[in-house]
Structure formats: C-alpha cells, structure tokens
Amino acid sequence: MTLYTATYNSPVGPIIIESDGEALTGLRFGEGELGLRFGDSSIGKALHPSPTQAACSLPIFDEVIRWLDDYFAGKQTENTVMLKKDALNQKNATRIIVQPKGTAFQQRVWQALLTIPYGETVSYGELARMVGCKSAQAVGQAVGANPIALLIPCHRVIAAHGKLGGYAYGQEIKRQLLEWEKNPTETFTMRTNRALQG
C-alpha cells in the first residue's frame, strides 16, 4: 500500500498528514519548533505534499487542510469526521473520511472520542463508561494510541479532578489546544497582540 504524506504548518508546529490515497490514516504533530503562534501569517500556507511512491494531489489533503484552517481560525469543526466503515453506508457524505488502524476495542474508543463536543472535555473514567469498559487505564491506552490527532479529539480527554493527564505530544500542546477551544477568539486576539508587540 502506498502511503502519502503532507506537512501542514500549524500554530503548534508542523502537522504530518497521512493518507492511503482515499481516507485519512494519520495526523500527528511532527518535529520542529512548538509553541502557539496564532496570528502568524504563514499558518496553513506551508503544505508540502510528499507521497512516498507517486506524485499526485489528493482530495483528502485538501479536505484536511480546510478543516485545519477552520480549526486554527477558531471555527467549531465538530460533526465533520466519519470513520470509513460508517461512510460506506452514506453516499455523498460531506465529512472527512478517516481510517485509523487499531484493534476493535481501540476503534470503539476512537468512535466515542468523535462524540466529545468542541470546547468540552471528558475524564478517562467517563469515557470508559461511554464505551462500556470497567478499566479507565485500558481506555487511556487506547486514547494514547489514536493515530489521528485533532480530528479524533483525544486531547479532550482529561484525568480525574480536572487534571490534564497525558498526551502523546506533551501536556503543553494539550493545554494550549484546550485553552484555544474554550475561547478561540479571545485567545487569538491576545496572542496576536503579544506577537505584534514583540
């Protein structure tokens, strides 16, 4: 199977987009300088498609880039993602089709993550109840194995008593994403002003 990749320049550093040519199979934060730069004029403009075997422009890349542009512009982006197995039953779906690889249990957890609204969080224990699992630890491991960050919003799962808990890309990025979703307009304005002041 050919894997196609592209890099998106986001406020929290580069994001690697991966596809099998049809569905989104991976989305992860890559190496590079991290730290929010909302208001940076280069955000979203540095997309470098780099398929491993063949050169082409993929519609899925365009869809994901639009989603990321909207997300980092402070627009709510919920109800725009659908697992490929569900999309087969819905013709003319306008959602981004994702196909993360994982066990049946992981798939169940990732499906539940799609139900967490923009700007809200659930605890690992609450998520465990949602998927009918007695072990919050097992659910936490499935959350940590999520290969499609942001679109499958694993950053919205927090530990008990409101603590952040772990995140594959570090607690600082998780904190920044959650702050951004709680008040994107104010956060954007504040950070843009700080960037302009130097």
Query: The domain that contains 150 carries what CATH number?
Result: 1.10.10.10
Q: What range defines the domain where residue 81 resides?
A: 4-197
**Closest Cα partner for 20 from 75, 99, 73?**
99
Asked if residues 9 and 43 have their Cβ atoms less than 8 Å apart, the reply is yes
- Percent of the chain at pLDDT > 70 equals 72
Looking at the whole model, is its pTM more than 0.85? no
Distance CA 18, CA 56 (A): 13
**Average model confidence (pLDDT) for the chain?**
79
Q: Which residue is associated with the tokens 């990321």? A: 68
- How many residues make up the chain in this entry? 198
Report pLDDT digits (tens) over 90-115.
554 557 889 999 999 999 999 999 99
Distance CA 197, CA 120 (A): 31
> What pLDDT is stored for residue 136 in this prediction?
93
Asked if residues 42 and 9 have their Cβ atoms less than 8 Å apart, the reply is yes
> What pLDDT is stored for residue 39 in this prediction?
34
Distance CA 30, CA 37 (A): 16
More confident residue, 183 or 67: 67
Q: What domain count does the chain have?
A: 1
Report pLDDT digits (tens) over 68-83.
998 888 887 766 776 6
Over residues 44-65, mean pLDDT: 61
Distance CA 18, CA 27 (A): 6
> What pLDDT is stored for residue 111 in this prediction?
93
133 noted as active-site residue: no
Q: Kindly report which listed range (23-32, 45-54, 60-69) carries the lowest average pLDDT score.
A: 45-54
Q: Which residues, in sequence order, are CB contacts of 127 under 8 Å at separation 6+? A: 109, 112, 113, 136, 139, 143, 157
Report pLDDT digits (tens) over 126-181.
999 999 999 999 999 999 999 999 999 999 999 988 889 889 999 999 998 998 88
Give the model's confidence band at 11: pLDDT under 50 very low, under 70 low, under 90 confident, else very high: confident
- Choice among 154, 157, 173, 178 that is catalytic: 154
